[in-house]
A = this chain, B = another copy of it.
Amino acid sequence: MNDAFLKACAGEPVRPVPVWIMRQAGRYLPEYREVRGQTDFLTLCKTPELAAKVTLQPVDILGVDAAILFSDILIPLEAMGSGLVFSEGRGPVLDPPFRSEADLDRLHCIDPESEVPFVLETIRILREQLKHKVPLIGFAGAPFTLATYLIEGGTTKSFVHTRRLLFGVPALFASLMELLTDVTIAYLSSQIRAGAQAVQLFDTWAGILSREEYGAHVLPHVKRIMEELSSLGVPRIYFVLDGCHILESIKETGADVIGLDWRTEISRAVSRLGPEVVLQGNLDPGCLFMQEEALRRRVARILEQGREARAHIFNLGHGIMPEVSPEKARLLVEMVHELSA
């Protein structure tokens, strides 16, 4: 098996540098769209054979060094007792939204084996099918990010309800975060026991918080997740979108690998966090619209910066966009391998 990704996670400066792409199983691939054309999104997530199939597509098509479970961060919220509907165009809807003490009673901590068995079954299938290929990454949404979906009832631009709860009713917000932290620990532990060889915690929206708020309302929970998972022996990656202003706090979580978006330069991250840090990232997803030569210069620069860290895993700074050509994505993976050989 190609273990470059796992070695890098463990802090070994592997050459060529391993690469995978956030949302690598997704709409930009015609092979994915074909599967999706036959089923709705939630059914795809809940059907192990299909979820495994789309997970494998980018491994074969792009030649990435890791597979990541195909699923959605909101899956555990439905299992907790929240309504969850994916509507075309409008995105996910969680109804009713979480707004008061009474909403806490509607939600419970999940038992993954009985409540999201399809996720664990997908992992078992994938480990079998990936045996001679690449490692499998499991994942979960981080508590704050999940909380925003529950509180807003879906996606948002203003985060007004989240802010109202966090600033206005901090004790209730803390109770929700406690529960979501318990859920995340149970969920990721089960994924690891089922065979996930690394886990990534996605904190997509934590970057809307100031350092003070992040430190008070998020950091202790993420720290607890990292601590609880540490004995399970797989690398823990923590990705925060737009986390430049809280980089030192992100390190404090104790994650093995820190995922950076395109706005936090790797060189600067190393000078702020020290050369012992293992970093993942961080090409702007928009760079995949560049011409080949311009793209190559960008990739080379990121790889060069990556050498300053203890180890580097190449990735985009956020998910690949549906409008990108699969050929360009394949070229990216090839470039990373060639330029870092």
Interface residues of A (CB under 8 A from B): 155, 157-160, 163-164, 166-168, 207-211, 213, 242, 244-245, 262-265, 284-291, 294, 321, 323
Contact = CB atoms under 8 A, between A and B. Distances in A.
Contact of A286 (B163, B207, B263): B163
A225 to B, nearest CB: 23
A163 B289 contact: yes
B157 A210 contact: no
A166 B286 CA distance: 9
A168 B245 contact: no
The count of identical subunits is 2
A167 B244 contact: no
B163 A285 contact: yes
Contacts of A207: 263
Contacts of A288: 167
Given A157-B157, A160-B323, 8 more contacts: A159-B286, A160-B286, A163-B285, A209-B263, A210-B262, A210-B284, A211-B265, A244-B245
A284 B213 contact: yes
A142 to B, nearest CB: 18
A155 to B, nearest CB: 7
A155 B157 contact: yes
A321 B160 contact: yes
A297 B197 CA distance: 46
A167 B263 contact: no
Contacts of A167: 284, 286-290, 294
A209 B263 CA distance: 7
Nearest to A287: B167
A210 B245 contact: no
Contact of A323 (B164, B294, B321): B164
A158 to B, nearest CB: 7
